[in-house]
């Protein structure tokens, strides 16, 4: 990402083009990306679909290896092909396909229209360049700023992300920053070009909770100001409850459920989502709730089970589940679930965890959808 | 707590690590130290779970390692069943180790890759010669594998053939092989996914019920610690800030650090999360090489006053069995506020 020669771009930014009628800011349609390895075909992204609008935050949750990171890297065109190969589906940004874009065009989008904060800040900061230089580079490349302009803006950005003494600190190197400060630098860098979409891959997982709270507050403040969309990848259901408008639950390379945050937390339809919900220790007032783990382990992506990928671990699995891929069941609010029994209201009502809301209300009407 | 019930007592435990390497630097007058553990005291009763929480680098793991005598404390005492472990001879130490086992954070690094899981689990029994007969030992290992939810047929497999959660079960089976009275669990589930984490937490709870083992449960995840612990202690920069039974600590925290820590943990419930008052602490924790004067938390504390930077607050019993080290501790959560640094 860094150390590229500086080429000035003179095309207009894609984010200035209006979103065509009937489209969303970002649309992922049945995206499939497989790795072809010596051990076999790793179906890392296996039919991912969602839509995202400006100002919205999508939370992507799922266990380790479920394909959360690879999905976003595919959207950004950052997967090496080979071994990777897009096997189907499309990604539309403002109505324009990112999958069919040339590498040169994509380079203009990356870091500019769509920016990403990576899982480990130390590997994505270059240790031999000063923080200021690394911040400036993108702005000189994408915005055609002069060295001086870019450096002034870098100082401003560091200040904005809450780094004290910014004039001094732009001259320092990554190792001179604490973990929380490096993550803030990463955010500053991602925001340098005021992206339309900010993809944050576990931006707080390596940080302490008090620092995590600072970073999340910062991302929300900046979103409020700039109106950008956020894709927040995390395994922490607390973090998504905190910031997500929409949630996609991934399992073994596929989204098993997608919906508004309220739908996923209060009206979940998929047995895997239920299992996750029952596995997390909840902060309870008086009594400890027993945990009900999901038995077994996630499957290998090289050797996915026939039928529903969750069937070997699902307490409700039937012969149908073990042999037939479940269809996608979608409600009128766009809430979808990939389970044979999601359209069986009685089954869902009887088996979903009972969650008492402190603020009872009709979820559909809260979303402004006519029920 | 009746004294007879005390299994482990930690008194004024301190551990400093020299920062500068080399003989001269270490012995110079200006030698610098990381004050990793600073005057920490607590008791663990037989059969209870005592949780130790705090952010990275606060000295939780070092406290655990000092108790196991994996590292020598620089001050204070550790008493196991009333006996000072620093004064134990080799033989006494060996028999103490039999009663006190360790489960580590990283199930990948803590198991010898060249040993089968059968060998790994039976090793403590060989060292302590508790089950001298080999055939009997193998039967016992199979039984242990079954207890921790692994297939006894897999006794001859190697660690790399197991998933993270399964490896953690191997570590647990090994820790239980000698039926110890105390197990020090250092971040035993933090490397695991939530669904697997729940499996391991339930296993630990079931084994405790069956064998009456006490746990010192060290973790940074407050929800996990709350779930498993009877009593919980909060550490910051090597110091014990507050401790009490889990219910009181989570519902009526007195220390402003505990209050801000709890308010920073996002709750997986959008309604509650949207309505909560949060205390966002500014800045990073100070360096343990050069800790602040007075109260170690005063540089980030939303209610700090002049006294806090001058005088170190003692850990005092603010309510029965509820200890807190703050000059101005109040049982009610402080209001949302923030300080700029
Ligand atoms: N270059 C590659 N070649 C082959 N397989 C790969 C490659 N990169 C990733 N994978 C596989 O793709 C799958 C999805 O990985 P991904 O990193 O997206 O998971 P994740 O959900 O982000 O997990 P985590 O929570 O651990 O970050 C995994 O099985 C991983 O091993
Ligand atoms: S399709 Fe069957 S196996 Fe899959 S989640 Fe639904 S009930 Fe379970
Ligand atoms: Mg990832």
C-beta A275 within 6 A of ligand 1? no
Where residue B298 falls among pLDDT bands split at 50, 70, 90? very high
User: Cβ of A291 and B193 within 8 Å?
Assistant: no
Closest CA to B185 of B44, B311, B309: B44
Strands, sheet with B75-80, edge to edge from the N-terminal-most edge strand: B33-45, B6-18, B75-80, B83-84
Give per-residue pLDDT as tens, B226-250.
999 999 999 999 999 999 999 889 8
**Mind listing the pLDDT tens digit for each residue in B175-225?**
999 999 999 999 888 878 888 889 889 989 999 999 999 999 999 899 999
Q: Which of A251, A326, A338 most suits a substitution to test ligand 2, by most atoms within 8 Å of the C-beta?
A: A326
Rounded CA-CA distance A242/A264 in Å is 13
Nearest by CB to B265, from A209, A286, A288: name it: A209
Give me the mean pLDDT over the B161-167 stretch: 80
Whether the pLDDT of residue A8 is over 60: the answer is: no
CB distance B208 to B47 below 8 Å:
yes
pLDDT band at A2 (very low <50, low <70, confident <90, very high): very low
For residues A304-310, give the mean pLDDT: 93
**Buried-exposed string A235-258: b where 16+ CB fall within 10 A, e elsewhere:** bbbbbbbbbbbbbbbbbbbbbbbb
Residue B3 has pLDDT above 70, yes or no: no
Q: What integer pLDDT is reported at residue B335 of this predicted model?
A: 44
What are the tens digits of pLDDT across the range A249-292?
999 999 999 999 999 999 999 999 999 999 998 766 677 888 99
| Count, residues in chain B | 341
Cβ B266 vs Cβ A239: under 8 Å: yes
Q: Shortest CA distance to A86 belongs to which of A105, A103, A70?
A: A70
Of B334, B329, B336, nearest to B314 (Cα)?
B329
Distance between A101 CA and the closest CA of chain B, angstroms: 36
- Which residues in chain A (170-199) have CB-CB distances under 8 A to chain B? 178, 180-181
Q: How many CA atoms lie within 13 A of A178 on its CB side?
A: 14
Q: Which of A24-28, A140-144, B96-100, B141-145 has the highest mean pLDDT?
A: A24-28
Task: Kindly report the backbone phi and psi dihedral angles of residue A92, in degrees, each rounded to the nearest multiple of 5, phi listed first.
Answer: -110, 125
Cα–Cα distance for residue pair B258/B315, rounded to 1 Å: 14
> For residue B331, is pLDDT > 70?
no
More confident residue, B249 or B25: B249
| Residue-averaged pLDDT of chain A | 86
Q: What is the DSSP letter of B87?
A: G
What pLDDT, on the 0 to 100 scale, is given for residue B189? 86
> A127-148 b/e with 16+ CB inside 10 Å = b?
eebbbbbbbbbbbbbbbebeee
Q: Whose CA is nearest to atom 1 of ligand 2?
A: A339
Put simply, the answer to whether B198 touches A239 (Cβ < 8 Å) is no
The pLDDT value recorded for residue A283 is 63
List pLDDT tens digits, range B46-80.
999 999 998 877 888 899 989 988 888 999 999 99
Average pLDDT, stretch B75-102?
89
The predicted pLDDT at position B43 comes to 93
Residue A3 Ramachandran class (φ > 0 left, ψ -120 to 50 alpha, else beta): left
Better-predicted residue by pLDDT, A194 or A76: A76
Cβ contacts of B231 on chain A, cutoff 8 Å: none
Please, what sign has the CA dihedral across residues A127, A129, A133, A134? Answer: negative
Pocket of ligand 2 (CB under 6 A): A 271, 308, 310-311, 314, 316-317, 321, 326, 339-341
Give percent of chain B above pLDDT 90.
44
Closest-CA residue, ligand 1 atom 31, reads A65
Angle subtended at Cα A120 by Cα A117 and Cα A125, rounded to the nearest 5 degrees: 75
Distance CA B315, CA B243 (A): 9
pLDDT level of residue B35 (50, 70, 90 thresholds): confident
* pLDDT grade for A1, boundaries at 50, 70 and 90: very low
Which of A249, A316, A336, A347 maximizes ligand 2 atoms within 8 Å of its Cβ, making it the mutation to test the pocket? A316
In ligand 2, which atom is closest to the CA atom of A342? 6
Q: What is the pLDDT of residue A364?
A: 59
B278 burial type by CB count under 10 A (0-12 exposed, 13-18 middle, 19+ buried): middle
The pLDDT value recorded for residue A370 is 43
Chain B: nearest CA to A359, how far in angstroms?
Answer: 7
Least distant ligand from the CA of A251:
1
Q: pLDDT for A95-105, tens place per residue?
A: 999 998 888 88
Query: Where do we find the tokens 């993108």?
Result: A138
What integer pLDDT is reported at residue B6 of this predicted model?
Answer: 92
CA distance to partner chain A, nearest, from residue B261 (Å): 6
3-state secondary structure of B162: coil
How much distance in Å is there from the Cα of A203 to the middle of ligand 1?
Answer: 17
What residue ranges define each of the domains in chain B, with the CATH number in brackets?
6-337 (3.40.50.300)
């Amino acid at each position: 990402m860094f150390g590229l020669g500086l080429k000035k771009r003179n095309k207009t930014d894609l984010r200035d083009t209006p979103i065509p009628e009937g489209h969303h800011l970002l649309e992922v349609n049945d995206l499939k990306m497989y790795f072809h390895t010596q051990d076999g075909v790793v179906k890392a992204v296996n039919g991912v679909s969602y839509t995202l609008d400006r100002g919205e935050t999508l939370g992507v949750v799922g266990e380790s290896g479920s394909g959360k990171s690879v999905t976003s890297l595919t959207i950004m065109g950052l997967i090496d092909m080979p071994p990777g190969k897009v096997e189907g589906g499309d990604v539309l940004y403002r109505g324009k396909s990112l999958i069919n874009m040339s590498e040169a065009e994509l380079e203009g989008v990356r870091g500019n229209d769509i920016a990403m904060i990576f899982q480990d800040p130390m590997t994505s900061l270059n240790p031999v360049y000063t923080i200021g230089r690394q911040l400036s580079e993108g702005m000189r490349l994408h915005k055609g700023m002069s060295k001086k302009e870019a450096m002034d803006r870098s100082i401003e950005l560091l200040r904005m992300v809450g780094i004290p003494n910014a004039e001094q600190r732009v001259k320092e190197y990554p190792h001179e920053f604490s973990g929380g400060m490096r993550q803030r630098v990463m955010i500053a860098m991602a925001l340098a070009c005021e992206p339309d979409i900010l993809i944050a891959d576990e931006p707080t997982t390596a940080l302490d909770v008090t620092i995590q709270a600072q970073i999340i507050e910062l991302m929300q403040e900046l979103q409020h100001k700039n109106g950008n969309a956020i894709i927040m990848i995390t395994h922490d259901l607390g973090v998504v409850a905190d910031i997500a408008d929409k949630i996609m639950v991934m399992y073994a390379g596929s989204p098993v459920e997608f919906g508004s945050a309220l739908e996923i937390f209060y009206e979940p339809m998929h047995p895997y989502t239920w299992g996750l919900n029952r596995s997390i220790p909840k902060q309870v007032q008086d009594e400890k709730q027993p945990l009900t783990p999901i038995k077994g382990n996630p499957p290998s992506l090289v050797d996915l089970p026939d039928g529903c990928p969750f069937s070997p671990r699902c307490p409700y699995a039937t012969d149908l589940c073990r042999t037939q891929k479940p269809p996608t069941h979608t409600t009128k609010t766009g809430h979808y679930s990939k389970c044979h029994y999601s359209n069986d209201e009685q089954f869902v009502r009887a088996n979903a965890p009972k969650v008492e809301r402190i603020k009872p209300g009709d979820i559909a009407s809260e979303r402004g959808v006519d029920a | 707590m009746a004294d007879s019930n005390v299994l482990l007592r930690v008194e004024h435990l301190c551990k400093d690590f020299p920062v500068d390497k080399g003989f001269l630097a270490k012995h110079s007058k200006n030698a610098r130290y990381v004050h990793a553990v600073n005057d920490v005291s607590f008791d663990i009763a037989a059969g209870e779970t005592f949780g130790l929480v705090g952010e990275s680098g606060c000295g939780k793991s070092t406290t655990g390692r000092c108790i196991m005598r994996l590292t020598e404390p620089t001050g204070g005492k550790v008493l196991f069943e009333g006996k000072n472990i620093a004064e134990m001879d080799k033989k006494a130490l060996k028999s103490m180790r039999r009663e006190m086992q360790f489960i580590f954070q990283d199930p990948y690094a803590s198991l010898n890759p060249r040993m089968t899981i059968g060998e790994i689990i039976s090793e403590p029994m060989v060292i302590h010669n508790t089950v001298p007969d080999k055939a009997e030992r193998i039967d016992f290992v199979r039984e242990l594998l079954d207890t921790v939810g692994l297939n006894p047929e897999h006794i001859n497999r190697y660690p790399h053939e197991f998933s993270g959660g399964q490896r953690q079960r191997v570590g647990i089976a090994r820790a239980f092989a000698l039926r110890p009275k105390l197990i020090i669990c250092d971040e035993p589930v933090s490397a695991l996914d939530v669904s697997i984490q729940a499996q391991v937490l339930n296993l630990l709870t079931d084994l405790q019920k069956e064998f009456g083992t006490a746990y010192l449960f060290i973790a940074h995840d407050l929800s996990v610690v709350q779930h498993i612990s009877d009593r919980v202690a909060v550490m910051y920069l090597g110091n014990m800030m507050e401790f009490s039974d889990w219910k009181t600590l989570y519902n009526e925290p007195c220390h402003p650090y505990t209050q801000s820590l709890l308010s920073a943990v996002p709750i997986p419930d959008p309604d509650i999360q949207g309505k909560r008052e949060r205390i966002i602490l500014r800045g990073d924790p100070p360096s343990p090489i050069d800790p602040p004067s007075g109260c170690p938390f005063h540089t980030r504390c939303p209610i700090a006053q002049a006294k806090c930077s001058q005088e170190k607050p003692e850990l005092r019993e603010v309510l029965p069995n509820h200890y807190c080290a703050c000059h101005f501790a109040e049982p009610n959560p402080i209001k949302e506020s923030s300080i700029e640094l």
